[in-house]
Structure 1
Amino acid sequence: MSLSGKFFKSKIKKKPSTQNLQSDVEIEKEKEKQNTSNQKLQPSLEENLKQLKQELGESSDIVYRTIQLTGKREILVSVIYIDGLGDSRSIQQFILESLSQRCEQKLQQSPEDDEFKIIKDFSITIGEIKTTQKMEDVAKAVLSGDSVVLVDRYSEGIITGTRGWEDRGVTEPTSETIVRGPKDGFSETLRMNTSLIRRRVKDGKLRIESKNVGSITKTDLAIVYIEGIVDPKVVEEVHSRIDKIEIDAILESGYIEELIQDETYTPFPTIYSTERPDVIVAGILEGRVGIIVDGTPFALLVPAIFTQFFQASEDYYQRADFSSLIRILRFGSFLLTLLVPSSYIAVTTFHQEMLPTRLLISLAAAREGVPFPALVEVLIMEITFEILREAGVRLPKAVGSAISIVGALVIGEAAVQAGLVSSAMVIVVSFTAITSFVIPSYNFTLAVRMMRFVYIFLAATFGLYGIILGLIALVLHLCSLRSFGVPYMEAFGPFNFQDQKDSIFRFPMKNLLTRPKLIGNKNKSRQQQPDQYQQKK
């Protein structure tokens, strides 16, 4: 090798790679994070306030209120909170006024060593109090809406629960409307949402475990389950998946849903989302785990199965026969919205002999002036309707519904008059859209809308054979899915006769004696046998 070649090789070796630079930056960030988390409070109040201001910045909404108390010696006490996140009335009445009015006389009568204890136990009259020696805990508490009391000459802080920001309150759910049943829905406040669950489940086995996700937003979430009913392995798996999340921000429960789901390469949701407290309670009573995220009214429920997306909470508030009829209607609507456009293409293009003669002549007459094949005709109408549906969702409520309905009528009529599409195609697309609204879960409806286009292309290519092959592939795909270890097609694959009582049909309540076999396997009994009731009487 020549000298120039050796020199060039040595140059390449000395040049730092992008990976090394990235790893160095990550190491420095990790060191900074560890240094920040390891910072402890100092005995000097001035030094603690200085460190806290460096951590939080000189923001105008952060209040640093310092009070001078007179006992056997002068004591400086500082109260730190964020204006707008903390309950100003509680801070004023139970911290500031209490410190200035109740504390001084007690301090004068007590030894100097008991000053911190008197301030914590006697002066601050708020229910939720805890102490900390870490600056990280102090900063986190302030940013979460709590108030922190720091006392001069003591390297310990008092965190008081004074969260009290403005919220939307409890209102009726907008995405899951029902005729009969409770009208309250989750809001954007985590503690209000957990209280709605506590209100329904007055049992000591209800567990609500808190976590913090997001390195910047530090979003609070709660994991809700009933001990003794839930499978401990599912709870461990939920904790494990949430603990592995490393992201800057969690702004909605959809972030959590996408990051912890089992199968990412499927259009079908494997986690159930709802804004109804009674749905979450019904789920955890069956052995599921609820995940409630602060800042959003939509809670998550795992594990989720296929039939769950066709069930509504109102099914259990109505008679069993009527609920069963509605469920059959939903499953039928699922098949219709998935297959009606593709079946129309397959029959009119490849299998005309399957149609009665009069119907075939009528369809041929309707399509006489249409210049496009059935595939293009369906795509024009389906895409147009999807655009109108999305426009109706995004527009203000006052004009959204009017625009979507009027737009569909006007465009459909104009397209038929212009000869771009046939009248039969307008009927097919309209019927498909109506049947898609019958499915209670919006997330599942989105998956069906996506799959509908796949079947349209299969029908245009292979006819009914393509549709049948697509259905076989769909069933195989659904059977391969799992949600936190539970088969997605539970009750059907593997088949379980006992769970058929609450799948397509809904048997009367007295017959629903057990929980789902693969979900509530820790405690299978839901209620006592009827003969046991008679024996007790």
Structure 2
Amino acid sequence: MSEHSSPSGDLLEEVKGQLSDMSDLEQRNLELDDQQVSLIYIKSLCDSAIINRFIVSPFFAKQDMHLYEEYIVSFPGTVEVKEAEEAVAQMLLGNVGLRFHDGRIFLFEAARVEASPVAASETEVIVQGPSDSFTESIEVNINLIRRRYKSADLKSELKTIGAKSKTQMAILYDEKRVDHGVLQELAERLDQISVDLIQSAAELDKYLASNDLRIFPTTIVTERPDRAVFNLSEGKVIVLVDTAGYAVILPVIFSDFFTAMDDKLQVKPVGWFLKTIRYIGLMLTVMLPSIYVAFTSYNSEVWKIQIALLVAGSRATVPYPSYVEVLFMLFMMECLTEASLRLPKAIGSTATTVGGLILGTAATEAGLVSNIMIILVSVVAISNFVIPLNMMGFTVRILKYVLVFLAAIYGLLGVVGGLVGLIMFLSSLRSFGKPYFRIFALDSLFLPKASRGGKRNG
């Protein structure tokens, strides 16, 4: 049958036209006696081993075109296409187009998946518990979740997002525990996303935000399957993005960002103690710089006379106000933190440690900053790192500058006013319709009443 003598022949030519000027476009004809099958696929997206084993070799082994066509159609995922746009879209996902002698065109799944193997978690390190992390393959990630959550109630929905990237994403939830209002709001926000490229879970998190100028994260981006599974059991929704080794968890509350997964493995008093340390660290890293500015420049009468004399003696050689001293040292600490993240691992920790020691020693000897300021900045930096999730850590790094600014203008009154305003803002914040600022929340916060009752009765 001639390629130009049937609509299917025209369809194949149209597909070739849309995929023209691609150096990795492969076109091949399989011929045996008077039988012929035409193949067209993109080499860089398809696995040649799958093509040779399941398409090429069986063609010569069957020696009967009717049996071979039935064999191809019997594979899961094989579909017949009748429109060029659909064929091109599927071939860009790694499918092989096959045109048979009767003019019918089928798409055969032969995608090559290049993803890193399941490795240990690097950004969310724990002392006990599983150490595996998500990979860049969405199928592997779903497998990691289903291995831990063996329930028929675990449902998954597949969607495609990104006009150019055509990124596949999966939405997972426990049908009996999830709040369907959250699912509806998530679907509405996904429908409103109109972008060309989505390449990471963090990027999707940014587009899901209800406010572009938000400072507090209203979802969790995690690389740990155990954290995702734990939140599934609480009735939350997990969003997986193909090509990204992270998952998005929603909705969330403020307390979720201060929970490490090994807290669940400890006895309760130890877990409470560890979580208390993190909240104390939060208060130290947010409030210490502003309190230092307020007490040094405005409200020194709050201190005992011995401490006031100690601070005054330490700052005797400093030629500028306390808020300039604080901002200078905090800025240098931010630079060291960024350098430790961006430098190669082989030299990053050494370079930043040596740089910090030299900087602190030289600054105090030159009289540019006080000794107490060095101690304060060190405490602030260490306290910031006790927060388990980096998303909240980045937010806290910004908050302390707001309070320093208020302390520089209004003193202790500015610090108190800033904290009151912060608490009011957190109290008004919502994560997909759920209250955000619930510090002491029950594990079943997001479960429907029926599920919570069933869990107690069980």
TM-score bracket, normalised by the shorter chain, equals over 0.9
TM-score, structure 1 length as denominator?
A: 0.81
Between the aligned partners of 1:172 and 1:261, the Cα distance in structure 2 is 29
Matched, 1:450 2:413: no
Residue of structure 2 in register with 1:288 after alignment: 236
| 1:481 Cα offset (Å) | 0.8
Between the aligned partners of 2:46 and 2:267, the Cα distance in structure 1 is 47
| 1:63 Cα offset (Å) | 1.7
Please give the per-residue CA displacement for 1:291-335, whole angstroms capped at 9, x wherever unaligned: 111111121011111111111111112222211110011111111
Between the aligned partners of 2:206 and 2:454, the Cα distance in structure 1 is 32
Residue identity matched to 1:524: R
Change (3 A) 1:310 1:89: same
Alignment of 1:448-527 (within 5 A): 448-490=396-438, 499-500=441-442, 502=443, 515-516=444-445, 518-521=446-449, 523-525=451-453, 527=455
Residue identity matched to 1:147: V
2:12 corresponds to which of 49, 53, 61: 49
Between the aligned partners of 2:215 and 2:5, the Cα distance in structure 1 is 54
Residue identity matched to 2:119: T
Alignment of 1:11-410 (within 5 A): 43=6, 46-70=9-33, 74-102=34-62, 104-105=63-64, 107=65, 115=66, 118-123=67-72, 126-154=75-103, 156-410=104-358
| 1:126 Cα offset (Å) | 4.1
Change (3 A) 1:377 1:42: farther
Q: Is the 8 A contact 2:223 2:245 kept in 1?
A: yes
| 1:172 Cα offset (Å) | 1.0
Bigger-Rg structure (1/2): 1
Between the aligned partners of 2:252 and 2:216, the Cα distance in structure 1 is 11
Q: Is the 8 A contact 1:263 1:270 kept in 2?
A: no
- After superposing the two structures, state which structure 1 stretch, 408-417 or 347-356, moved more: 347-356
Q: Is the 8 A contact 1:263 1:482 kept in 2?
A: no
Between the aligned partners of 1:522 and 1:143, the Cα distance in structure 2 is 45
Change (3 A) 1:43 1:196: farther
| 1:380 Cα offset (Å) | 0.5
Residue identity matched to 2:184: E
Between the aligned partners of 2:112 and 2:83, the Cα distance in structure 1 is 24
Q: CA RMSD in A?
A: 2.0
| 1:134 Cα offset (Å) | 2.4
Identity %: 34
| 1:217 Cα offset (Å) | 1.1
| 1:283 Cα offset (Å) | 1.1
Between the aligned partners of 1:144 and 1:522, the Cα distance in structure 2 is 42
| 1:464 Cα offset (Å) | 1.2
Residue identity matched to 1:170: V
Q: Is the 8 A contact 1:98 1:125 kept in 2?
A: no
Between the aligned partners of 2:9 and 2:35, the Cα distance in structure 1 is 13
Between the aligned partners of 1:389 and 1:319, the Cα distance in structure 2 is 34
Segments of structure 1 that go 5 or more residues without pairing to the other structure are: 1-40, 108-114, 493-498, 503-514, 533-537
Please give the per-residue CA displacement for 1:202-222, whole angstroms capped at 9, x wherever unaligned: 222211211111111111111
Residue of structure 2 in register with 1:31 after alignment: none
Between the aligned partners of 2:229 and 2:299, the Cα distance in structure 1 is 50
Between the aligned partners of 1:525 and 1:263, the Cα distance in structure 2 is 35
Residue of structure 2 in register with 1:111 after alignment: none
Between the aligned partners of 1:161 and 1:521, the Cα distance in structure 2 is 43
Change (3 A) 1:519 1:470: farther
The 3-state SS of whatever aligns with 1:193 is helix
Between the aligned partners of 1:205 and 1:150, the Cα distance in structure 2 is 40
| 1:353 Cα offset (Å) | 1.6
Change (3 A) 1:355 1:139: same
| 1:132 Cα offset (Å) | 2.6
TM-score, structure 2 length as denominator?
A: 0.94
